[in-house]
Amino acid sequence: MLPIPLNNPSWLPAVGLAVTAMLAGCSSGRDAQQPLPDPESLVQRVLEEERVPGAAVGIWHAGQPVLLQGFGVTNVESPRPVDPQTLFKLASTTKAFTTAALALLVEEGKLQWDSPVVDYLPQFALGDEWITQEFQVVDLLTHRSGLGPGAGDLMLWPQPNSFSRADILQGLRHLPVTGSFRADYAYDNLLYIVAGELIAAVSGMSYEDFVQQRLLAELGLEHCYAGPVPETARDNLADPHRLEGDRLVVDTPNLAPDHPIVLAAAGGMHCSAGDMLRWLRTLLAGGVSPEGERLLSLESRDRLWQPVTLMPMSAERSERDRGHFYAYALGWRVQDMYGKRVIHHTGSLSGMYAWVAIVPEEELAMVVLMNRSAGVARQALIHGLLKPYLGAGPRDWLAHFQELWGGAAAPSEPELLPRPESRAPVARKQVEGRYRDPWFGPMEIFTNAAGKLRWRSLRSPRLVGTMEPAAPGVWSLRWDDRSLQADAWLMAEEREDGELVVTMQPLSRGVDFSYDFPDLRFVRTGPVGERVEAVGPVAQKKNKQ
């Protein structure tokens, strides 16, 4: 896979000087005898072995550009070379823009980090009244709400669906509080969407307009969009991909939409590697742009990076990073690696992965954007590009993670989780009907013309699949859309009060926590009634259940 040359040839001498300086081991944190690896060769090897169609990588070190380059193509079906201006989904690296937008409003005196959210959004509520009243702006951003991991994320994806930001605010009160408020770390997205609505309420502008005008335009980020990518910029837009068997295909349902999306404040932005590197350099410089214009105060920048919530620190991570702590700040993760503070974040959406990092002691900023969800590739690039700057010795990180997780060339079957039991099981015919969950909305179970028992969400159209009996009152639910990789166990029970209830759990260990099945509790509301479902390419006649 050949790299795409830099669009601006004037960078090349600077790159050469920076590489020469690195090879001399000028950084105090590195062994002067240990040269840094060639980043271009590493990226090329990782993308080739892990079947990633394209990527854009930027590295800035000690006041000099080391690398800003595109690799591969934006789309395997209509190939266009990736370049430094190619737009990628930022996924959760968007969160840092959301927290910076809030910091601007704090600087202007329009809100305070420790003010209750209900002061700005009276309709905000969680499942616990005391927590609702105590919940501060900073609590929206630090993953310590008491909600479970990924709580309510089924209102966000799979896309498209019919949920709105108002639905998010309404649905939060129905999600179970399963952890300790301000104690237990559990990653969430919905509260960042609330943060976006708070920005809108306080500023009088939509979240997208505020970020676009007050951050992106002010910083001169011309290839970065808080809202939909305009038609004029879509010819250089990287498309998401997935592996289908041994073949790379475009992940069509997850193409960049041409309309505002619900998850904008949690993970909806698009940006180029060149603009992301400019953004990271501004934060590295204490909130001052490369031209010397102040975007954020140093106090605000430091507040964004101040650790708040301790995150789990496994022995494997501690050994791998030579680290002692791992914490979440405001839209950033902070940890020590080889004795240095590293501020970083990943971004993950179907068919798109991102990663950004800043190491203040090394005057280092890095960005990696990819157009396939390839975990091994991202980890190999994170460690392979970053660790040499921290003083780590040579190591084949790609081989390490291929051995640990398995590479693209050798996909493995997900490990099935134990089959649950239904305490008061119901029969197949009895389970048919229309159901409702208080935050996810209506669902129906019915028999189609082919005699298959089917499950269908009425608000998330890609969530439709076939139920196969596994035990009394227990079915395996396999989605028609096999790209979802999120099959489920389904349990149907009749409660003592006669209520028919359906609950769900992940079928395998590999199901992403954003498929928030454990928080669903569907109660039967009545029969299905007349409907039509296509079986194969031909629609069958209506069935009355």
Its domain, for residue 471, covers 428-544
Q: Please tell me the total count of domains within the chain.
A: 2
Nearest to 444 by CA among 454, 452, 436, 434: 434
Q: CATH number of the domain at 94, please.
A: 3.40.710.10
Asked if 36 and 388 touch (Cβ cutoff 8 Å), the reply is yes
Distance from C-alpha of 12 to C-alpha of 6, rounded to nearest angstrom: 8
Confidence (pLDDT) at 19: 30
Residue-wise pLDDT tens digits, 76-96: 999 999 999 999 999 999 999
Distance from C-alpha of 27 to C-alpha of 376, rounded to nearest angstrom: 28
Q: Are residues 488 and 523 in the same domain?
A: yes
Distance from C-alpha of 156 to C-alpha of 474, rounded to nearest angstrom: 27
Query: Is residue 148 predicted with pLDDT exceeding 70?
Result: yes
Q: Are residues 437 and 387 in the same domain?
A: no
Beta-bridge mates of residue 193:
none
Query: Is residue 239 predicted with pLDDT exceeding 60?
Result: yes
Confidence (pLDDT) at 40: 96
- Structural element, H or E, at residue 243: strand 241-244
In sequence order, which residues have a C-beta less than 8 Å from that of residue 66 and are 6 or more positions away?
15, 18, 19, 22, 39, 59, 60
List helix spans (H) across 461-508: none
114 located within any domain: no
Asked if 194 and 121 touch (Cβ cutoff 8 Å), the reply is yes
Confidence (pLDDT) at 545: 27
Confidence (pLDDT) at 542: 31
Residue-wise pLDDT tens digits, 347-394: 999 999 999 999 999 999 999 999 999 999 999 999 999 999 999 999
Question: Average pLDDT of the chain?
Answer: 90
461 located within any domain: yes
Query: Is residue 24 predicted with pLDDT exceeding 90?
Result: no
Distance from C-alpha of 412 to C-alpha of 393, rounded to nearest angstrom: 31
25 located within any domain: yes
Q: Are residues 328 and 432 in the same domain?
A: no
Phi-psi region of 109 (alpha: psi -120 to 50; beta: other; left: phi over 0): left
| Structure-model confidence comparison of residues 454 and 428, the more confident one | 454
Confidence (pLDDT) at 411: 58
Q: CATH number of the domain at 512, please.
A: 2.40.128
Instruction: Please tell me the pTM assigned to this model.
Output: 0.90
51 located within any domain: yes
Region 532-541 average pLDDT: 36
Q: Are residues 517 and 391 in the same domain?
A: no
Confidence (pLDDT) at 177: 96
Q: How confident is the model at residue 312 (pLDDT cuts 50, 70, 90)?
A: very high
Asked if 212 and 321 touch (Cβ cutoff 8 Å), the reply is no
Query: Is residue 291 predicted with pLDDT exceeding 60?
Result: yes
Identify the weakest region by mean pLDDT among 12-26, 195-209, 224-238, 519-533.
Answer: 12-26
Three-class DSSP category at 231: helix
In sequence order, which residues have a C-beta less than 8 Å from that of residue 508 and are 6 or more positions away?
414, 415, 416, 417, 487
Q: Are residues 318 and 391 in the same domain?
A: yes
188 located within any domain: no
Query: Is residue 32 predicted with pLDDT exceeding 60?
Result: no
Q: Are residues 272 and 364 in the same domain?
A: yes
Q: Are residues 375 and 486 in the same domain?
A: no
Handedness of CA 80, 82, 83, 85 (dihedral sign): positive
Three-class DSSP category at 170: helix
- Structural element, H or E, at residue 187: none
**Which stretches of 62-153 are assigned E, i.e. beta strand?**
64-72, 87-89
Confidence (pLDDT) at 17: 30
Distance from C-alpha of 266 to C-alpha of 304, rounded to nearest angstrom: 16
Query: Is residue 169 predicted with pLDDT exceeding 50?
Result: yes
Cis amide leading into 160 (omega within 30): yes
Q: Are residues 439 and 394 in the same domain?
A: no
Q: Are residues 341 and 213 in the same domain?
A: yes
Residue-wise pLDDT tens digits, 99-145: 999 999 999 999 999 999 999 999 999 999 999 999 999 999 999 99
| Structure-model confidence comparison of residues 232 and 409, the more confident one | 232
178 located within any domain: no
Q: How confident is the model at residue 193 (pLDDT cuts 50, 70, 90)?
A: very high
462 located within any domain: yes
Q: Hey, what amino acid is at 531?
A: R
Boundary residue ending a domain (355, 373, 405)? 405
Q: Are residues 342 and 391 in the same domain?
A: yes
Confidence (pLDDT) at 412: 62
Confidence (pLDDT) at 407: 75
Residue-wise pLDDT tens digits, 271-282: 999 999 999 999
Strand duo 441-447 + 270-272: pairing? unpaired
Distance from C-alpha of 536 to C-alpha of 545, rounded to nearest angstrom: 21
Q: Are residues 90 and 231 in the same domain?
A: yes
The vertex-87 CA angle with 329 and 210, nearest 5°, equals 55
Asked if 168 and 200 touch (Cβ cutoff 8 Å), the reply is no
Q: How confident is the model at residue 435 (pLDDT cuts 50, 70, 90)?
A: very high
Asked if 201 and 121 touch (Cβ cutoff 8 Å), the reply is yes
Distance from C-alpha of 86 to C-alpha of 500, rounded to nearest angstrom: 51
Residues 400, 404, 408, 409: what is their CA dihedral angle, to the nearest 10 degrees? 80
Token pair for 545 = 């259940």
Confidence (pLDDT) at 86: 98
In sequence order, which residues have a C-beta less than 8 Å from that of residue 427 and are 6 or more positions away?
none
185 located within any domain: no
Q: Are residues 304 and 444 in the same domain?
A: no
Q: How crowded is residue 481: how many other Cβ atoms within 10 Å of its Cβ?
A: 14
